[in-house]
Structure 1
């Protein structure tokens, strides 16, 4: 099922390449765009669409969409086109349900003379969706050598023309023009750029700071080597039900102190709790840029917080504090020690990855703890509720991957990850965007 799904993606991408951009195989320079974090919503935006505000980055989203009036004279695609076939590969979830796979598009069918209609959705709630013409947008980014922004590049991208009410009613930052889907889908932004420019199906995110598209060295800040030569990697798991999200092959979760000579505390998870169900597509551990904090299904969450509580309490000097919603485990900062560069001295969370990973995924204090009140530091992990209980077992939120370099290689189904960059000389904000344009 997984292999067939990706063969389908490749086939549709090839159709798009032939239908819209010709059959040329020229390889163009990789592209780079800045990423920002909205302080009000904690969502991340990319500055890439010409003549409008930024687009919200949805790592699991299958589609680009932006508000535009129906009478604006925008181009459209017929229902029988390759672009329309690509848009129909992912369906919007029913009203009131969430689907972390991206919930993106459905099309009018049958009549090849009709105009293709896509269904963009609010990336945060996945509950608000609307019908809109499949159209094309003018976009621009900068060519890059992996170290500098070189010169501006303009291009067209296929996306959905959403009604203005969807933009107004969605949980998006003020001034945002829409959404840029980065998921495993032919009409996601990385897939379209790879098809157009022939630079490989690879993209990098460093939040907040920079997005890089294409096969290139990556240099951030004063860290001299190409980061691609130094960071860890893991195979990516794929959702067999066609979800556009990126899944990690996590086999267990443990908690450990770096400065105590004691064995890690492993969360006592139910058997198979983290597995991705091949029949339903539920479960698994996935990444999100629209979920603020990591969320866990109740059975996983309860075992995890018990393990974390036991580990942080083992030294005997850490004092608990009352919970600060939505967080459950909170601690008195007066009882904790500061660690140079890395923040607070608390146990690290380890996602134990399966075979093929060069290193486990470790979440330290800089990505695991949040100052929730005066003298109160809380574990930035929350419990899923209601319908979410049938979603992935774990959704790793944006806070947990900030200041981490993530490089997705879709051809190889591999994710490269740096861990927290603090203290390395590399920073997500360290890319050189000041070169003359």
Structure 2
């Protein structure tokens, strides 16, 4: 009996030690995290993610990149140096290492994963850099704000993100090493102030998520703020997600999911939309209608045949609210001097029966002191995709792109849960 007791104690001690050894090798973080900022000083409201780009004088430099769910690769304001250690990098400039025109990444990006735009001319091999015997790799880029084509040089970059346990920022860092592209500073004149790059968050193998690997799971979460005064949050990794003041509540408990739909030759995000419901009346969507998710378009855009039915129904259920003359680009506006302007939810009935509720905060925009408008706009009779869900409908909604299982998660308005996208605790904890 004594022998059995001793043997049991030895086994338990061994198991305990083994578990402690495993725990010691496990990563203390479950996600990478970065702040997301709203900008209103460009032609339309836009959002950026702040990334650490280089390590100078014992601190990380930061840069803001425009969030683009369509872009095939990252491009930003930087210059190329053959030897980033020996060559001198100008002050306040980010310097990176070039991709040669002879490397496979160059051919791959140009032929398969480049921007598709008829205004972009064919690209040729670039000139050699001083002290380097190989040619550079020019690639086309497209300004997501103006749609104009530009030129950039493919490079090897190094970006750094903070890590998180889903509740706080941790002291560890997470490094990513993407092939991005350097563009001249003049390429960003249409961008908001202090935004100097495009952060590709598409499904392209050269977009940012493709470079965020183990120990992180291929799950991307995005929470766009509605305010300029505090940032929203970007997560990468299948962690729990927590927002103040309810820091013990996992935001995943609020989410519904619908399949992401793959389209050939596209790295954008699409979902299936069956109907739009306004106060119990269903507006059916034609079969095979494509619905794209966009962080560049500020308002949900509907093809004219769909838009006209939505506006007709919305006008009917809001007929007691005094109308106002439309303000472009909106087609339906109201007298905002009415106390407590509230309108019915707009429900998006998705492919698998889930419902995404668009509340007043996401469907109505205060245009002037006296005028508020419906943020669904007419995209024209032949617009393709027929439906583009824009950022007005994203703000203060927690969105998850589960790339592992090809699912899109959405919370509907967090304001109804007594929190918002600006409520992540960015306080550093050990």
Interval of TM-score (by shorter of Structure 1 and Structure 2)? 0.7 to 0.9
Q: What's 1:396 paired with?
A: 389
**Cα deviations by residue, 1:253-312 (Å, 9 ceiling, x for unpaired):** 1211xxxxxxx222365x43xx25xxxxxxx11111111111122222122211211222
Q: What's 2:85 paired with?
A: none
In structure 2, C-alpha distance between the alignment counterparts of 1:107 and 1:436, rounded to whole Å: 49
Q: How do 1:266-305 residues align onto structure 2 when only pairs under 5 Å count?
A: 266-267=282-283, 271-272=286-287, 275-276=288-289, 284-305=290-311
SS of alignment partner, residue 150 of structure 2 = coil
Q: Return the offset for 1:118.
A: 2.5
Q: What's 2:76 paired with?
A: 66
238, 256, 259: which is aligned to 1:215? 238
Q: What's 1:428 paired with?
A: 421
The 1:118–1:410 alpha-carbon spacing in structure 2 relative to 1, beyond 3 Å, is same
Q: What's 1:39 paired with?
A: 40
The 1:106–1:62 alpha-carbon spacing in structure 2 relative to 1, beyond 3 Å, is farther
Q: What's 2:157 paired with?
A: 137
In structure 2, C-alpha distance between the alignment counterparts of 1:214 and 1:86, rounded to whole Å: 27
Contact 1:404–1:428, Cα closer than 8 Å, also in 2:
yes
269, 287, 301: which is aligned to 1:246? 269
Point out where structure 1 has 5 or more consecutive residues left out of the alignment: 1-25, 98-104, 257-263, 277-283, 339-343
Q: What's 2:410 paired with?
A: 417
Q: Return the offset for 1:145.
A: 0.5
Contact 1:265–1:311, Cα closer than 8 Å, also in 2:
no
SS of alignment partner, residue 236 of structure 1 = strand
**Cα deviations by residue, 1:334-353 (Å, 9 ceiling, x for unpaired):** 44x63xxxxx4212111111
Q: What's 1:21 paired with?
A: none
Are positions 1:184 and 2:194 aligned together?
no
Q: Return the offset for 1:184.
A: 0.9
In structure 1, C-alpha distance between the alignment counterparts of 2:108 and 2:424, rounded to whole Å: 33
Are positions 1:236 and 2:260 aligned together?
yes
**Cα deviations by residue, 1:356-409 (Å, 9 ceiling, x for unpaired):** x5x2111110100011123322101211249xx342111111111100000111
In structure 2, C-alpha distance between the alignment counterparts of 1:180 and 1:107, rounded to whole Å: 25
Are positions 1:84 and 2:115 aligned together?
no
Pick which of 146-155 and 183-192 moved more: 146-155
Q: Return the offset for 1:175.
A: 1.6
SS of alignment partner, residue 48 of structure 1 = strand
Q: What's 1:149 paired with?
A: 169
Contact 2:168–2:428, Cα closer than 8 Å, also in 1:
yes
TM-score by length of 1: 0.77
Q: How many residues align?
A: 367
The 1:69–1:435 alpha-carbon spacing in structure 2 relative to 1, beyond 3 Å, is closer
370, 382, 404: which is aligned to 1:375? 370
Are positions 1:347 and 2:320 aligned together?
no
In structure 2, C-alpha distance between the alignment counterparts of 1:312 and 1:354, rounded to whole Å: 28
**Cα deviations by residue, 1:25-45 (Å, 9 ceiling, x for unpaired):** x97842100011012132111
Contact 1:63–1:189, Cα closer than 8 Å, also in 2:
yes
TM-score by length of 2: 0.78
Q: What's 2:218 paired with?
A: 201
The 1:107–1:46 alpha-carbon spacing in structure 2 relative to 1, beyond 3 Å, is farther
Structure having the higher strand fraction is 2
SS of alignment partner, residue 400 of structure 1 = coil
In structure 1, C-alpha distance between the alignment counterparts of 2:102 and 2:302, rounded to whole Å: 41
Q: Return the offset for 1:214.
A: 1.0
The 1:150–1:289 alpha-carbon spacing in structure 2 relative to 1, beyond 3 Å, is same
The 1:372–1:230 alpha-carbon spacing in structure 2 relative to 1, beyond 3 Å, is closer
Q: How do 1:10-21 residues align onto structure 2 when only pairs under 5 Å count?
A: none
**Cα deviations by residue, 1:194-230 (Å, 9 ceiling, x for unpaired):** 3xx3412111000020000111111111222211233
Q: What's 1:3 paired with?
A: none
C-alpha RMSD over aligned residues: 2.7
In structure 2, C-alpha distance between the alignment counterparts of 1:215 and 1:80, rounded to whole Å: 37
SS of alignment partner, residue 97 of structure 2 = coil
